Amino acid sequence: MDSDSIECVSSIDEIVEDHEIPHHNINHHPHPRHAPHHQFSSSKPHHNGTNNVNSISNIVGPTAIAPAASVHELLECPVCTNSMYPPIHQCHNGHTLCSTCKIRVHNRCPTCRQELGDIRCLALEKVAESLELPCKYYKLGCPEIFPYYSKLKHEGICIYRPYNCPYAGSECSVVGDIPFLVAHLRDDHKVDMHTGCTFNHRYVKSNPREVENATWMLTVFHCFGQYFCLHFEAFQLGMAPVYMAFIRFMGDETEARNYSYSLEVGANGRKLIWEGTPRSIRDSHRKVRDSHDGLIIQRNMALFFSGGDRKELKLRVTGRIWKEQQNPDANMCIPN
C-alpha cells in the first residue's frame, strides 16, 4: 500500500466542502470504541456446558414432556452453543453434541472424555421435530415461529437479521442494525457523512498507475430518511487497471428497489453515464464489485478525463439518488 492520499472534494446540494482523506490500509482492523447498541446473539439461553448434559432417559419415558425452553437447552451443543440438527451425536454416557463439533473434538466427548463412536441420539432428534420456536432475531422484531427444523433456514434470510459493516477496506467483522452501523462508520472508520441526494466528488491521485486494489473511498449519504454508501475504487480487471463507482443501500433488498441512482463522469466534451438500482449491503462489497454493477472507467479514459499531461488522476464524479416514483430529471429533491 502506498502512502499516497486521495483528495475528495464534495459538493452536496450546492454546498462545497474541501477535505482530504488519507489512503487506507486494507489490512487494518479497526476496534470499535463503543459497544453495540444491541447484543446480536441467539435467543437461546447461555449456561454452563455441564447443565446441558443429559442421558436419553432424561428425555424419554413417562416424564418425557418438558417445557419448550428446557428442551431447547437440551438441543444446544455444549461446545459451540448453537442449536443441534441431525445427525445429533452422543457418547456412551448420553452426552450430546453436534456433528460439526464431533470433528472438532477429535471424536472425544468434551464432557466425560469417552470416545464418541457413531451413536446418534435419535430420541432427541424426534423431540426436536415436535418443537416450534421463535426466530432467534425475535428481539430485533421478527414475530415468526417455526418448526425446529425450518427455523435455521428462515434465520439465514430473515429480514430482521443484523447487517454486516459495509466498510470495504478492512474486512470489518462488526454487525448491527442500521443506526448502529451508521454511528460505527462515522466514529470508528471516520467515514464522511453527507445529507442530500445529489453529490459532486472530485477524486485526485498523484500516481494513477498504482492501483493494486489499494485505492478506494466510502462516503455515506442520508436522504429520503435512508442511508446510502457511495463506493469509489481502483482495481485490476483482468490485466487492465480500472476505476469503479457504485452505490449500496443501507437496508434490505426489497427496500433498495424503491430507489435509483445515476453516476456521471466526463470532461473535454465527453462523458460516461451509469444509471441503476442500488444494491443492498446484504450483498458484500466484493460481490457487487465483481459483478461490475456500477460505473466502470478504464484507466486511459480516466486519464483523458483528467486532462493535463495525464500523469495525475483528477476525476469528477457527479450523481443523484431518487425515489422510483419521482422524475430523475426533476430539479427538486427534498431529503428527510
DSSP labels for 143-154?
A: --EEEHHHHHHH
Provide the pairing of β-strand 96-97 with 89-90: antiparallel
Flag whether pLDDT at 74 surpasses 50: yes
- Rounded to 5 degrees, φ, ψ at 147 are -55, 150
Would you state the pLDDT for residue 50?
39
**Mean local confidence (pLDDT), 245-265:** 95
Would you state the pLDDT for residue 39?
37
C-alpha cell of 300?
486511459
Flag whether pLDDT at 21 surpasses 60: no
Flag whether pLDDT at 180 surpasses 80: yes
**Mean local confidence (pLDDT), 33-50:** 39
C-alpha cell of 161?
437479521
**Mean local confidence (pLDDT), 181-196:** 94
Residue 208: Cβ-neighbour burial (10 angstroms; 0-12, 13-18, 19+): buried
Flag whether pLDDT at 182 surpasses 60: yes
What is the rounded distance in angstroms from the CA atom of residue 77 to the CA atom of residue 98? Answer: 6
What is the widest separation between alpha-carbon atoms in the chain? 87
Which range (72-76, 176-180, 247-251) has the least confidence? Answer: 72-76
pLDDT tens for each residue of 294-330: 999 888 888 888 876 767 778 889 999 999 875 545 4
For the chain, give the mean pLDDT. Answer: 76
Flag whether pLDDT at 262 surpasses 60: yes
What is the rounded distance in angstroms from the CA atom of residue 105 to the CA atom of residue 276? Answer: 49
Four-CA torsion 331, 262, 170, 186, nearest 10 degrees: 10
What percent of the chain is modeled with pLDDT above 90?
33
Residue ranges, comma separated, of all CATH 3.30.40.10 domains in the chain are 71-157
| pTM tops 0.85 | no
Q: Which residues contact 25 (CB under 8 A, 6 or more apart)?
A: 1, 169, 170
**Mean local confidence (pLDDT), 81-99:** 89
Would you state the pLDDT for residue 211?
54
Flag whether pLDDT at 34 surpasses 70: no
What is the rounded distance in angstroms from the CA atom of residue 184 to the CA atom of residue 165? Answer: 8
- Looking up cell 462488526, which residue turns up? 174
Flag whether pLDDT at 334 surpasses 80: no
**Mean local confidence (pLDDT), 76-105:** 89
**Mean local confidence (pLDDT), 77-90:** 89
- Cis amide bond preceding 134, omega within 30: no
Three-class secondary structure of residue 122 per DSSP: helix
C-alpha cell of 30?
479497526
Please state which CATH number belongs to domain 71-157.
3.30.40.10
**Mean local confidence (pLDDT), 125-132:** 86
Residue ranges, comma separated, of all CATH 2.60.210.10 domains in the chain are 163-323
| Structure confidence at residue 263 as a pLDDT band (50, 70, 90) | very high
**Mean local confidence (pLDDT), 38-42:** 37
What is the rounded distance in angstroms from the CA atom of residue 129 to the CA atom of residue 117? Answer: 24
| Structure confidence at residue 168 as a pLDDT band (50, 70, 90) | confident
Please state which CATH number belongs to domain 163-323.
2.60.210.10
Beta strands in the chain (DSSP E): 6-12, 15-21, 89-90, 96-97, 132-134, 145-147, 163-164, 175-176, 192-195, 198-205, 216-223, 226-237, 240-249, 259-267, 270-276, 279-280, 295-298, 313-323
Using CA atoms, how far residue 12 sits from 40, 98, 196, in Å, is 35, 53, 6
C-alpha cell of 179?
443506526
Flag whether pLDDT at 58 surpasses 60: no
Would you state the pLDDT for residue 49?
40
